[in-house]
């Protein structure tokens, strides 16, 4: 091998198709609409909880797709299920139901069950 004095830098591209993510697959089975999200951030911009906490549904969905649930699940504790995000979602995703399903799949079911009317 020739030493040119420089070399290839490994790509920082994350290949979603190579990520083994059974929990997200289970979420996708329950909530097929989760892959419709285009990460526009309308939900985050309209989020009441987001005014006072780090809650960002856009980040939650992206991180779950990338298998980084530990970083973001605590955020969901702040959701009040007010449903404003559902009103503004351009993809028509039932975000309240999605958040409840995330809680069930990722082990936050108890907390979410309590706030359910």
Partner 1 sequence: MIYQGKQKIWSEYQKEIPDDHWFYVRSCIRQSFFPASEKMFLEILRKRLGKDVYETPHHTTCGGIAYHSEAIPQETVMTIIARQFALMTEAGYENYVCSCITSFGLYTEVMEDWRNFPELEAKIRENLWKATRREFKIPACLAHASDLIYKFRNAIAEQAKFRLVNKATGEPLRVVEHIGCHYAKMFPSKGVGGAEYPYVLAGMVESWGGEVIDYPERRHCCGFGFRQYLVRANRGYSLSNTHKKFESMEPFKPDMIITNCPGCPYFLDRWQYVIAEQTGKTYGGNGYGIPVFTYEEVAGLVLGYDPWDLGLQTHQVAVEPLLDKMGVPYKPEDKYKGLNGKQLQRPELPMNIKCC
For partner 1, the binding residues (CB under 8 A) are: 1-2, 4-9, 11, 13
Residue nearer to partner 1 on the CB measure, 11 or 18: 11
Tokens of 70: 């530990």
Q: Are 83 and 5 in contact (CB under 8 A)?
A: no
Give min distance, CB of 12 to partner 1, in A: 10
What's the Cα-to-Cα distance from 100 to each of 23, 69, 105, 111, rounded to whole Å? 14, 15, 9, 10
* Dist CA 12 CA 16 (whole Å): 12
As measured in angstroms, the least distance from the Cβ of 82 to partner 1 is 35
Q: How far is the CB of 14 from partner 1 (least distance, A)?
A: 14
Q: Which is nearer to partner 1, 7 or 92 (CB)?
A: 7
């Amino acid at each position: 091998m020739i030493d040119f004095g420089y070399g290839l830098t490994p790509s920082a591209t994350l290949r979603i198709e190579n990520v083994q993510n059974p929990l997200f697959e289970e979420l996708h089975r329950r909530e097929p609409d989760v892959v419709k999200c285009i990460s526009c951030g309308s939900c985050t911009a309209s989020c009441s909880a987001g005014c006072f906490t780090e809650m960002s549904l856009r980040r939650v969905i992206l991180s779950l797709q990338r298998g980084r649930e530990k970083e973001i699940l605590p955020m969901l504790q702040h959701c009040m299920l007010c449903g404003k995000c559902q009103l503004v979602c351009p993809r028509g995703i039932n975000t309240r139901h999605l958040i409840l399903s995330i809680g069930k799949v990722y082990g936050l079911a108890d907390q979410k069950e309590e706030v359910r009317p």
